[in-house]
Amino acid sequence: MRPDPRPRLLVMSFSPLRSDARVLRQVQLFRDRYAVTTLGYGEAPEGVVEHLRLPDDVVSWHKDRRLLVGRRFETAYRSAPVVVAAARLLAGRARTFDVVLADDIDTVPLALDLQAAAGVHADLHEYHPRQNEENRRWRLFVAPYYRWLVRTYGTRADSVTTVGEGIAREYRLRFGIRAGVVVNAPHFVELEPTPVSSPLRLVHSGNAQRHRLDVILEAMDLVTAPMTLDLYLMSNDPGYLEELRARYAASDRVRIHPPVAPHELPATLNAHDVGVYVLPPVSFNHLWALPNKVFDFVQGRLALVVGPSPEMAALVRRHGLGVVTDDFTPEALARALDALDPESVRGWKAASHRAARELSAQEQVRGWARAVDTLAARVNG
């Protein structure tokens, strides 16, 4: 059998690949033009030539606390169970790949170890050194480790991308890393805006987390205009989710629904009028968040009401998609919701429709294509 003539690409992520939307977009982007191997948790994504599966019982975030406290960061990294498991899967594969696409900073040292013929592209996603800075213990003991990891290994990647302009700017200012931006946008979906409902139908989808939902739910207690809120929630905090189900079991204003598969989400959202998301800036990454749900709202052809997070606010204003609240409080959100009128909502839904193609994965993933293709060209160049 003739060897596969396509460039050899390894996509690495310490996440369940089939449910990691960002990594799946990378695989889908490259699987036709590259011989793609993946490394991560769970079953193989469709279209790859090989999958290196991390053991399900290996905890991805576990590190030796004593090593972190003692600032023995290299040993802490190399002895982390997920790194040991990944290194075992990659043993003997040095120079097997033309390009490695390493997702998140945790995979970058292993990617560099492989000495890929054309280099390493690091998709750093969030700003790792301040990922959980609202937690004092994390700030004292884990943040120095991630600063070391970015400074020691992230700066050695041949090219870098992240999820937003604010995070890219921070990498450049703190570490001299010049990162491109690929936002977390889903694929374009052919939909039309639906007529505005009476009462207005608000919607939010995502994780069942207190700090992400409390402002929205408190605002609904303050709103006086007729409107309903549908929540499609992942069970990442089962106790909190059960608390919400019990709290709103008899409510005719707030309804709790099971989560919807990513490919079904735009059609589900399309039956609503306004996507709502106010994320209090408890950390740097929360402040500069530009989450996939915002782009899901656009694909669902919804009007948007968001808090004054710089990235989200800029997107809403640039494309005329809806309203930015005055601050991150329930009172400010309630005022914004009470001020909505059908004619404005209709116009914002139409604006989402106009922006849907530009704000889709088909357009945004070009940043990855340029970076990886540039590296791969080194092999034949």
pLDDT on residue 235: 82
Is 340 within 8 Å of 200 (Cβ atoms)? yes
Is 80 within 8 Å of 63 (Cβ atoms)? yes
Nearest 5°: the CA angle 176, 180, 181 is: 125
Helix (H, G, I), strand (E, B) or coil at 376: helix
pLDDT on residue 263: 83
pLDDT on residue 208: 86
> Where in the sequence of the chain do the CATH 3.40.50.2000 domains occur?
8-182+365-380, 200-355
In this predicted model, what pLDDT tens digit does every residue of 72-83 receive, in sequence order?
A: 999 999 999 999
pLDDT on residue 2: 64
Residue 367 in this model has a pLDDT that exceeds 90 = yes
**CA separation for the pair 355, 263 (Å, rounded):** 19
Among 24-38, 163-177, 198-212, where is mean pLDDT lowest?
198-212
Helix (H, G, I), strand (E, B) or coil at 177: coil
The CATH superfamily label for domain 8-182+365-380 reads Glycogen Phosphorylase B; (3.40.50.2000)
Confidence of residue 190 (pLDDT cuts 50, 70, 90): very high
Q: What DSSP element (H or E) covers 81? A: helix 81-90
Mean pLDDT for 330-358 is 98
Q: For residue 79, give every residue at least 6 positions away whose Cβ sits within 8 Å of its Cβ, in sequence order, or none.
A: 64, 67
Confidence of residue 280 (pLDDT cuts 50, 70, 90): very high
Q: pLDDT > 70: what percent of the chain?
A: 99
pLDDT on residue 379: 82
Confidence of residue 356 (pLDDT cuts 50, 70, 90): very high
Mean pLDDT for 326-332 is 97
In this predicted model, what pLDDT tens digit does every residue of 194-203 receive, in sequence order?
A: 999 999 999 9
Q: How far is CA 49 from the centre of its chain?
A: 25
Mean pLDDT for 350-374 is 96
Confidence of residue 1 (pLDDT cuts 50, 70, 90): low
Is 11 within 8 Å of 24 (Cβ atoms)? no
pLDDT on residue 242: 93
What is the average pLDDT value for the chain, to the nearest integer? Answer: 95
CATH 3.40.228.10 fits 200-355, yes or no: no
